[in-house]
Structure 1
Amino acid sequence: MREDVRAPKQPLDRTARTTVLLLFAAWTVDYVDRLLVNLALPDIGAEFGLDHTQQGLVLSAFFLAYAVFQIPGGLLADRFGAVRVMLAAVLLWSAFTALTGLVGSFVLLLAVRFLFGAAEGVFPGASIKALSERTEPAQRMTANGWMQSSNAFGVLLAPAIAAPLIAWWGWRGAFVGVAVLGIFVFLALRKWLPAPRTAVERVDSRSRDVLLSPVMWRFALMFFGYDVIVWGLSSWVPSYLQTERGLTLTEAGAITALPAVFGGIAVVLGGRWSDRLRGRHRVIILPAMAATAICLVVMAHSEPTALFAVFLTLSGMFAALCYMPIFAVPLRSLPPNWPGRARA
Structure 2
Amino acid sequence: MSTTSTPSPSPAPPPPYGTSATPARGRVRLDRAAKTTVGLLFLAWIVDYIDRLVINLALPHIGTEFGVDRTQQGMILSAFFLAYAACQIPGGLLADRFGSKRILLWAMLVWSVFTALTGTAWSFAALVVIRVLFGAGQGIFPAAAMKAVAERTGPAERMTASGWISSSNAFGAVVAPLIAGPVIALWGWRMSFFAVAGLGVATFVLVQLLLPPARPAAVPENTGGGGTRALLATPPMWLYVGMLFGYGMLAWGLNSWIPSYLQTERGLSLESSGLLSALPALFGGIAMILSGRCADRLKGRPALLVAPSMAVAGAAVLAMTQARNLVAFEALLCLAYAACTFCFTPIFAVPLRTLSTRLSGAASGMINFGGQSAGILVPILMGYLADTYSFTVAFAVLGLGAALTAVLALIAPQTSASLHSRIGPSLRD
Same fold (TM over 0.5): yes
**Contact 2:288 2:343 survives alignment (8 Å):** yes
Measure how far apart 1:167 and its partner are. 4.3
Which residue of the other structure, out of 115, 123, 133, is the alignment partner of 2:151?
133
Matched AA of 2:86:
V
Q: 1:170 aligns with which of 188, 191, 197?
A: 188
> Aligned pair in 2 of structure 1 residues 168, 297: CA closer, same or farther (>3 Å)?
closer
Q: For residue 16 of structure 1, what is the aligned residue in structure 2?
A: 34
Does residue 201 in structure 1 map to residue 252 in structure 2?
Answer: no
| Residue number in structure 2 paired with 1:219 | 240
1:299 to 320, 330, 333: 320
TM-superposed deviation, 1:98? 1.4
Q: Establish whether residue 282 from structure 1 lines up as the match of residue 303 from structure 2.
A: yes
**Aligned residue type for 1:101:** G
Contact 2:295 2:301 in 1 (8 A): yes
Question: What letter matches 2:325 in structure 1?
Answer: P
Distance of 1:16 and 1:266 partners within structure 2: 21
Q: CA deviation at 1:298?
A: 2.6
CA distance in 1, matches of 2:77, 2:164: 28
Which string of whole-angstrom CA distances, capped at 9 and with x for unpartnered residues, describes residues 184-208 of structure 1? 1111111100011124113423322
Kindly state the Cα deviation for residue 20 of structure 1 after the two structures are TM-superposed: 0.4
Partner secondary structure for residue 122 of structure 2: coil
Q: Please state whether the residue corresponding to 2:127 is helix, strand or coil.
A: helix
What stretches of structure 1 of length at least 5 have no aligned partner? 1-6
Please report how far the alpha carbon of residue 143 of structure 1 lies from its aligned counterpart in structure 2 after TM superposition.
0.3
- Which of these residues, 258, 263, 269, is aligned with residue 290 of structure 2? 269
Question: Separation in 2 of the partners of 1:127 and 1:150?
Answer: 12
Partner Cα distance (2:241, 2:155) in 1: 21
Within-5 A mapping of 1:111-122:
111-122=129-140
- 1:101-160 CA distance string (max 9 Å, x none): 223333222111100011101100000001110011111100000001111111111122
Ranges in structure 2 where 5+ consecutive residues have no aligned partner: 1-24, 366-429
Mapped contact 2:93–2:362 kept (Cα < 8 A):
yes
Q: Which amino acid aligns with 1:342?
A: A
Q: Deviations over 1:66-125 (max 9, x none)?
A: 111111111111111111111110000011111222233332221111000111011000
Bigger shift: residues 114-123 or 154-163: 154-163
8 Å contact 2:38–2:164 — kept in the other structure?
yes
Is 1:308 the counterpart of 2:326? The answer is: no
Distance across 2 between alignment mates of 1:41 and 1:235: 9
Structure 1 residue ranges (4+ consecutive) displaced by more than 6 angstroms after TM superposition: none
Change in CA separation of 1:203 and 1:327 when aligned onto 2, cut-off 3 Å: farther
Aligned length: 338
Which digits, 9 at most, give the CA deviation of each residue in 1:23-72, with x for residues without a partner?
01100110111112222334434443434343332222111111111111
Structure 2 residue corresponding to 1:256, chosen from 274, 277, 290: 277
Larger deviation, residues 45-54 vs 262-271: 45-54
Larger RCO (CA within 8 A; separation ≥ 6): 1
Counterparts in 2 of 1:303 and 1:60: CA distance versus 1, 3 Å: same
| 1-structure distance, mates of 2:306, 2:79 | 31
1:232 aligns with 2:253: yes
Distance 1:59 1:80 in 2: 30
Pairing partner for 2:90 from 53, 72, 76: 72
Greater mean alpha carbon deviation, residues 282-291 or residues 238-247: 238-247
What is the RMSD of the two structures over their aligned residues, measured on CA atoms? 2.0
With 48-57 and 126-135 compared, the bigger mean Cα shift is at 48-57
Contact map agreement 1:35 1:158 (CA 8 A) in 2? yes
Q: CA deviation at 1:212?
A: 1.6
CA-to-aligned-CA distance 1:157-183 (integer Å, 9 cap, x gap): 112222333345433333223211111
Question: Does the 8 Å contact 1:79/1:202 carry over to 2?
Answer: no
SS in 1 for 2:357: coil
Instruction: Tell me the TM-score normalized by structure 2.
Output: 0.74
1:149 aligns with 2:149: no
Contact kept, 8 Å, 1:266 with 1:321, in 2: the verdict is yes
Counterpart Cα distance in 1 of 2:154 and 2:87: 28
Q: 1:302 to 1:327 in 2, by over 3 A?
A: same
Q: How many Å separate the matches in 2 of 1:168 and 1:241?
A: 20
State the Cα distance separating 1:302 from its structure 2 match: 3.0
- SS of aligned partner of 2:27: coil
Given residue 74 of structure 1, which amino acid in structure 2 is its aligned partner? G
Change (3 A) 1:162 1:285: same
